[in-house]
Amino acid sequence: MRRRQKPPLPKRHGLDPARLRLPEEGDWATIRDHLVERLPRVSPARIDELLHEGGIVDLDGPIAPDAPYVPGGAIWFHRDLPVEKDVPFEIGIVHRDDTILVVDKPHFLSTIPRGQHILQTALVRLRRDLDLPDLVPAHRLDRVTAGLVMFIVDPARRGAYQTMFHNRLVHKEYEAIARFDPELELPRTIISRIVKERQVLRAYETDGEPNAETRIELLEHRDGLGRYRLRPRTGRTHQLRLHMNSLGIPILGDDFYPELTDKSVDDYTRPLQLLASALEFTDPLTREPRRFETTRHLQAWDDPQGWADGTSIDGRGY
């Protein structure tokens, strides 16, 4: 396997620099000319500033503002970060050893950098706070879903654990709070075809070969609410939310299903009442059984009035 080239710039905020390979064909006189054309969202003035600061480099060091274009070469630089508001909730540590790290992610925190969420992500926070610059996720959890996420501490072991998730060898359990329907027969298994198109926020169920399967059971109910255990056998985008919605009991706090609602990304009231509650697997290295359980609780069940009012969200218990 070809080894990834080590960047000539150090990580910043726990993030590797961006790498751009220069095309073999092109009529740019300088690297600057190419960057101005290739990075239309970055102003020419900002590119000039980075060049003068020595912030754009190749393997030989900083690139001069008038450096000639080199077909097939590569350059590195740190992208400017978006303005982000702090996600005011803590990440809980469930387990840590020399190989893996299992955490309890709060609602509203993305697992990995994406789009407008960079510093305010679990990966970047953990790399910084735990001084683990090589930490990588074994899998992902939606920003609005709380609960267990596993990361790999030792880069040499990442393949074994990521393959385990890819091959569906990890037993996952979730909890959800939704309306209680006494007419609904549970437990049951929902099998359907889910499609998620690029640039479209919501996924949808459609006819065709099934690709999503979830076992749903009612754990208990009171005051018109049910606490449900969800056991997905597949991992399609928004699978649990769609399958609960298909039963007529959408998860409380769901801003996508059944209707898409306009909610600011920094509105931390009434989080989606979905929690990744357990991970269970046979360790691919030691062959020992492992099970991790969340320490979090769903607020709509423990404090229904606080959830309805949008209060009592401190990120520690919920």
Q: What are phi and psi of 108, to 5 degrees?
A: 75, 5
Read off the pLDDT of each residue in 107-127 and give the average, rounded to a whole number: 90
Segment (H or E) for 46: helix 44-53
Amino acid at 247: L
The residue ranges of every structural domain in the chain are: 18-77, 92-309
Encode pLDDT of 221-235 as tens digits: 999 999 999 999 999
SS3 call for 37:
helix
Close Cβ partners of 21 (under 8 Å, ≥ 6 residues apart):
72, 73, 74
- Closest Cα partner for 57 from 82, 84, 88, 31? 31
Contact assessment for residue 38 and residue 147, using Cβ atoms and an 8 Å cutoff: no
- Closest Cα partner for 275 from 318, 235, 314? 318
Encode pLDDT of 13-71 as tens digits: 878 898 999 999 888 999 999 999 999 989 999 999 999 999 999 999 999 999 999 99
| Residue 272 CA: distances (Å) to CA of 88, 159, 216 | 16, 31, 17
**33 in catalytic set:** no
Of 168-172, 189-193, 231-235, 304-308, the poorest mean pLDDT is in 304-308
CATH (residue range 92-309): 3.30.2350.10
Work out the pLDDT band at 315, boundaries 50, 70, 90.
very low
> For residue 40, what are its two tokens?
């239309």
What is the pLDDT, as a whole number, of residue 313? Answer: 55
CATH (residue range 18-77): 3.10.290.10
Encode pLDDT of 267-301 as tens digits: 899 999 999 999 999 999 999 999 999 999 999 99
* 142, 154, 283, 303: the active-site residue: 142
